[in-house]
A and B are shown apart, each in its own frame.
Chain A
């Protein structure tokens, strides 16, 4: 590695050294408590797949370049140099971590491996060794933010084509479009994904609730969050924030996407509008009696997978259970669940990267959980988790149905206009 590159990487590293990061890098006692907490390690018990093993790649670089010990007695902390080898190690560490933060909950100091991995990811960007697919998808999202007006007509036409499917689930309130767009002063701005599966059920629920809502021109997913590029992450989120400001909405409801929800809800500062997950909104509608759902529309027993970014990292754990309680009385929990739930193995951008073999291996602990639940159907509230669970279901021949919670609710809607 050239000296200039090395210097540039050091500066990038330093740019990430905020209070939390300094504490994370200085304090680890190597107690090893986090080791067993990682689903990747559970499937592939190697040191490099432990949270501490991953963080050590960054920590050893930190010691080498930012601590006295690394300069006078590097052997004490087995420091490593910033070179091609360590960049490769950083890649393996960063992209074998789904950022589920299960390790945070067992670490006696709460060291956040996901945050530490953001340093590794930034070094990869600096060394131009980041996953190109995530870079490309991030750039496309940013470009969409700049050119959305040019494609708006096509988008609106496509939305109109979905109207019959929405109507089949719930009637549109009189005098309103089935999938409204660009509605100023709407109560809710719904941000979906690019597929109709993320739009149709949500639109039906919002219409059944007779909500004054509008749909976003953008998809919620934030590829840059997985890439570890803070600036791109901000730009992607900013498109939606600006749209909400332009339309003067009261609330932004984010599709079933854990990372998008977490980024928008917690990482974009304060706004004159609330940001919630669609799951929270549905729970509120049921609680307020604005929508009614039929119990017993799901055959057999149902279980729920807590998406890490929505549950442990977003606090949405009781709402899905409340909704499920209205849908069925044959609910069984996965063990463990809620904040202790195992990651499905699809987070951190691994779905976008492909990585099928790795994901199937590391998803074994989740597959075992699913099998042990003996449930007929598993539902979740995250697009990535849904994809991963579907693939695990096939790979491990679990014979379960995999559903999205919003879709289950949409198909159980009843009592319209009551």
Chain B
């Protein structure tokens, strides 16, 4: 079958479905089915075939691999610290807090020292970390059986605002490293890590904003992503292409791939502060 003809057919089907259907949802549904049928009918060869296999690897096996690498890495990192000798004396600073653990919790999650010294930085840090918290739940909502948002809603948690709340601070974190002492104390990994995060967020934004802020939603709906997460959860190793339709699949694959990269490098970068911030703050509080 001629791929060009298939594409054209799909486009026509989308157009026809939109024109004929009386409501938007029916139009979108018809379009998706048409695109899906067209996509599956294509027989890929050469580079397209290579991409298919690469995409499959990224979308299924590499998800499991990256999660395993992350967990093993984190456990190894934590073990290296647990096994190390404890400091011979207290490293706390004064005045001593009556409740050191609560003080360390406040230091970790409230970052009062940053609020005092650099309020703008603190604002973006808080925005970012709260955003990450909601991002976690936004992705959890995509798991089959989990419905933090109503199942029929096409919005992720925050309806696109959560993406903004991590993307804007990431731009700030990146740009502040190009001036003053921040530039001098930064090493290549600082920039690369922020760029990695930025691209993950921007790709995620595209999907999330598309679903929330356009009339018909993103080509792939929240229900489609739920089906994809269902494949991962069931370990069926089915091709996600059967549930994620349309040419925007490239962007989803890119989003997933960068997220996998992030997970795999997490234990070996300063992102370990996710786990170590509280123990560190406890060191200076008791």
Could you tell me which A residues sit within 8 Å of B by CB distance? 17-24, 26-33, 35-37, 45, 47, 50, 52-53, 56, 67-69, 75-78, 101, 104-112, 115, 266-267, 311-315, 317, 338-339
A162 to B284, CA, bound (A): 42
Q: Which residues of A contact B87 (CB under 8 A)?
A: 18-21, 115
CB neighbours of B187 from chain A (8 A): 30, 76-78
Partner of B94 from A31, A56, A312 at Cβ < 8 Å: A312
B273 touches A104 (CB 8 A): no
User: Contacts of A50 on B, CB cut-off 8 Å?
Assistant: 181, 185
Q: With an 8 A cutoff between CB atoms, is B279 at the interface?
A: yes
Q: Any chain A CB within 8 A of the CB of B98?
A: no
Indicate if the CB atoms of B268 and A69 lie closer than 8 Å: yes
Digitize B89-100: 1 where CB-to-A-CB distance is under 8 Å, 0 elsewhere: 111011110000
Report which B residues bind A (CB closer than 8 A).
Answer: 77, 80-82, 84-91, 93-96, 107, 111, 113-114, 117-118, 121, 180-182, 184-190, 192, 268-270, 272-273, 276-277, 279-281, 283-285
Known: A33-B118, A108-B113. 5 other contacts (CB 8 A): A17-B84, A19-B82, A22-B84, A35-B181, A45-B181
Instruction: Please tell me if the beta carbons of B93 and A19 are within 8 angstroms of each other in the complex.
Output: no
Known A110-B284, A339-B93: A53·B185 in contact at CB below 8 Å: yes
* A109 lies within 8 A of B189 (CB): no
Asked if A27 and B95 make an inter-chain contact with CB atoms under 8 angstroms apart, the answer reads no
| Bound Cα distance from A77 to B191, whole angstroms | 11
Cβ–Cβ contact A339 & B95, under 8 A: yes
* Most chain A C-beta atoms within 10 Å of own C-beta, residue among B77, B180, B182, B280: B280
Interchain CB contact (< 8 A) of B281 among A22, A45, A76, A110: A110
Contact yes or no, B94 A110, CB < 8 A: no
Chain B hits for A76, CB < 8 A: 187-189, 192
Q: Are B85 and A267 in contact (CB under 8 A)?
A: no
Interface residue from A45, A110, A312 paired with B107 (Cβ < 8 Å): A110
With A76-B188, A108-B107, A266-B89 in contact, do A47 and B268 touch (Cβ < 8 Å)? no
- A26 touching B276, Cβ below 8 Å: yes
Q: Which residues from B are CB-within-8-Å of A52?
A: 185
How many angstroms between the C-alpha atoms of A389 and B90 in the bound complex?
29
Residue of A nearest to B284 (CB): A110
Contact between B86 and A19, CB atoms less than 8 A apart: yes
CB pair B93 A312 closer than 8 Å: yes
- Bound Cα distance from A132 to B186, whole angstroms: 34
Query: Could you say which of B86, B93, B273, B284 has the most chain A C-beta atoms within 10 Å of its C-beta?
Result: B93
Take A33-B117, A53-B185 as given contacts and tell me if A27 and B273 are in contact as well, using a CB distance cutoff of 8 Å. yes
A229 to B89 CA separation, bound complex (whole angstroms): 15
Candidate in B82, B91, B182, B281 with the most chain A CB atoms within 10 angstroms: B91
Assembled-state Cα–Cα distance A107/B114 (Å):
8
User: What are 11 residue pairs bridging A and B, where the CB atoms are less than 8 Å apart in the complex?
Assistant: A29-B273, A30-B185, A30-B186, A30-B190, A32-B182, A36-B117, A101-B93, A104-B93, A110-B280, A312-B93, A339-B95
Choose from A67, A106, A314 the contact partner of B113 (Cβ within 8 Å): A106
Query: Which B residues lie within 8 Å of A56 (CB)?
Result: 185
